[in-house]
Amino acid sequence: MNQNFKTSIVIAAAAGLASASAPALGQPLELQVLGLNPLSSLREAQTHLNLQKMLSLHLSSEGREAQMRAMSESHGIQSRRYQIFQDGVEIIGGEVIAHEPVGHEPVQVSLANLNPPERITVTPAFPQLTLSVQPSLSPETAVRLALEHLTGSGERLLQAKPALKILPESNGSGGKLLYWLNIQPQLTGPQLDAGRDILIDAHSGQLIADLSHHIEISETINHTRRADSTCQTLNPDTGSPSGLNVAACPTAVRAGEIQEGASRSAFRAYLNANRVLGYFSKTHNRMSYDGKGSELVSVVHVGNKFANAFWSTDGGFMAYGDGDGAVMGDLTRSLDVAGHEMTHGVTSATSKLIYMDESGALNEAFSDFFGVVIAARALQRQPDWAIGKEIFNNERKLIGLRNLKDPASIKTRFLTKEGAFEARPYPSTVAEKFESFGPCTQRNDRCYVHVNSMIPGRAMVLISEAIGLDQAEKLMYLTLTQYLTASSGFAAFKEQTLAACKSTLSETECAAVTAAFNTVGF
């Protein structure tokens, strides 16, 4: 592929309470159209005007309110997302999504009456919750508890006031009132170290989750930069990056021009980014990871013998470690790893699947699926459904990190209720799902996002075999970007994939998709 996208490569080396804003009760909502390139075409400009004139979503009589947050379009379907609030408090993943065929004029949808014209399908992805939105803990107490949890991880700063939110249970049985705290490292300059989202129960004060803003390829572009001692600081015990100032890292490749000092890793990272962006552009008509044509920055030589790669949701960049030199080598060698991480960027700009438990497992499954598919398309071969073979130096190069087609062929670690680790095969069905004990933290892989991802991942493989890869990749993209919400779990994945299927594929194909889901126990 000769097309150049906005990518760059840089190099690294060692050295009060705020609830989400909502309109006043009883007032029509002011529409917010997000995610569109500002009037970049006459069609988008007209769409924006039509939405402002013709679309409105009014409050129900149950203390619920909504405002439009995004519009998207792909594969013949256009969707509009409306964020739902309860008594002024955001319901995480609580959305109404209106889908209709491309080309129709937008119509009015009401939260109190979800019965639009026949061509419109509506996904009311929010539970009927009755919990009180009055917290028992003060915001100041929540901050203290979050910082106590982070004791020993360096100085931290609260990025914004604690946000009071409602987190629905994945099984739809209820929800929790929590404080969502975005906490960043206390570093000088434009540092892009991993921030953390700390979720604290607003009544009991218990830790619900500790979510890193760096989403890694395993449990433990196109602008390329090289991380060196001028732009990164390292954890002396692990060699992982504890601080990374991307803007200060020297540029290695920009717009295809190799700069002095650029390594093979830098150029591979540049090619990886071009291939990933090319896939999303050609196959799904998506401009860059965020749909806005933003520049993609890749950073190579991150850490010291750092055997991982990650996507930064804070900085919107891709980072590659060089591997430990023994078991694992340079992570730029694997295109499917790059596709995996950059798909996290697509997810963070669309469905925003929370990186914990079932929603986090779906987040990982989509990244694994598209990572493998992107590599297969670029290399003009059939996918083998193993991810990360190329990064290994030992016998693991035959099997990779994970295998979506045969998850149980590889073992991983399970943390028992007693706090001990034991080896178990990756799960292939819902019945084999790893259960978590305690909060979702790095210790239990944030409630096994990299592990339980194999269950929906295997379903995606079976769907590809049943209806063909061409149809499956479009169906998965449509589901991820237009049908799922931040708190979607496995049940919602099946339900919304079938809804997307019904809108775009035949009855026979959708029956085959259902059979694939049934095989893994959904």
- Please give the positions annotated as active site: 341, 450
Contact 374, 275 (CB under 8 A): yes
Q: How many CB atoms lie within 10 A of CB 265?
A: 22
User: Which residues make Cβ contacts (< 8 Å) with residue 418, sequence separation at least 6?
Assistant: none
Paired strand residues for 80: 71, 98
Q: Where are the domains of the chain?
A: 19-124, 386-520
For the chain, 522 residues long, give each residue's pLDDT as a single digit of tens. Answer: 456 677 766 676 543 333 333 333 223 222 222 222 322 333 333 333 333 333 333 334 355 565 566 667 788 888 878 788 888 888 888 887 877 777 665 554 444 444 544 554 555 555 566 778 899 999 999 999 998 888 765 556 776 789 999 998 866 667 899 999 988 766 543 344 567 899 999 999 999 999 887 776 655 434 566 666 678 877 777 777 777 777 778 787 776 677 777 788 888 998 999 999 999 999 999 999 988 888 888 888 988 888 888 888 877 888 899 998 999 999 999 999 999 999 999 999 999 999 999 999 999 999 999 999 999 999 999 999 999 999 999 999 999 999 999 999 999 999 888 888 899 999 999 999 999 988 999 889 999 999 999 999 999 999 999 999 999 999 999 999 999 999 999 999 999 999 999 989 999 999 999 999 999 999
Rounded Cα distance between 269 and 341, Å, is 12
User: Which residues make Cβ contacts (< 8 Å) with residue 340, sequence separation at least 6?
Assistant: 217, 367, 368, 370, 371, 387
CATH top-level class for 386-520? mainly alpha
